[in-house]
Homo-oligomer: A and B are copies of this chain.
Amino acid sequence: MPDDRRLVFIIGGARSGKSAHAERLIEASPAPWIYVATGQAFDGEMEDRIAEHKARRDQRWRTIEAPLELATALRDVPDGEPVLVDCLTLWLSNQILAECDVGKESARLVEVLAAPRGPWFVVSNEVGLGIVPDNALARRFRDAAGRLNQEVAAVADEVLLMAAGLPIKVK
């Protein structure tokens, strides 16, 4: 087993610099790096966002798409390889849209994240600091995201909250 086994959890708002910070952190470990993408491009706005993230990464990265089967994808990554998961909230959103059992799928994912087999960096959005949303689906998503973030933070070795591109060490 590799020596450097740890879970670093990076949370923050939209455009708070979560992904860029996670990339800076992972680059302290030797390449190649595995990028686990959970986003799906449903529209032009999302396509632009994915393209912008991709443009930052070069051939030292290997990309795995895991919009739904994230726990399985993580089980399959080689021991010791640095992994960046970007991001949990998109995965959760995909789970809800696909009408999966969110509680069960979250538990499966947290079980894998609790035993990282290398330096693993996981990005997630904090979405609970605004006014209560009008629509029930948004409230359900907000609750599920908050619960998942708590569960992942509980098993993480380090938790960072991003604000304006800067990390606040929470754990």
Contact = CB atoms under 8 A, between A and B. Distances in A.
Given A130-B131, A131-B127, A133-B131, A165 B149 contact: yes
B163 A11 contact: yes
Tell me which of A130, A136, A139, A152 has the highest count of chain B C-beta atoms within 10 A of its own C-beta: A130
Interface stretch (A14-22, A58-66, A67-75, A79-87): A14-22
Chain A: number of interface residues, binned into ranges:
35 or more
A110 to B, nearest CB: 12
24 contacts: A9-B164, A13-B129, A13-B130, A14-B128, A14-B132, A14-B142, A15-B128, A15-B145, A15-B146, A16-B146, A45-B136, A126-B163, A126-B164, A128-B130, A129-B130, A130-B131, A131-B141, A149-B164, A153-B164, A159-B164, A161-B163, A161-B164, A161-B168, A164-B170
Contacts of A159: 163-164, 166
Contact of A166 (B45, B143, B170): B170
Contacts of A25: none
A171 interface: yes
A143 B13 contact: no
A50 to B, nearest CB: 14
B153 A166 contact: yes
A154 interface: yes
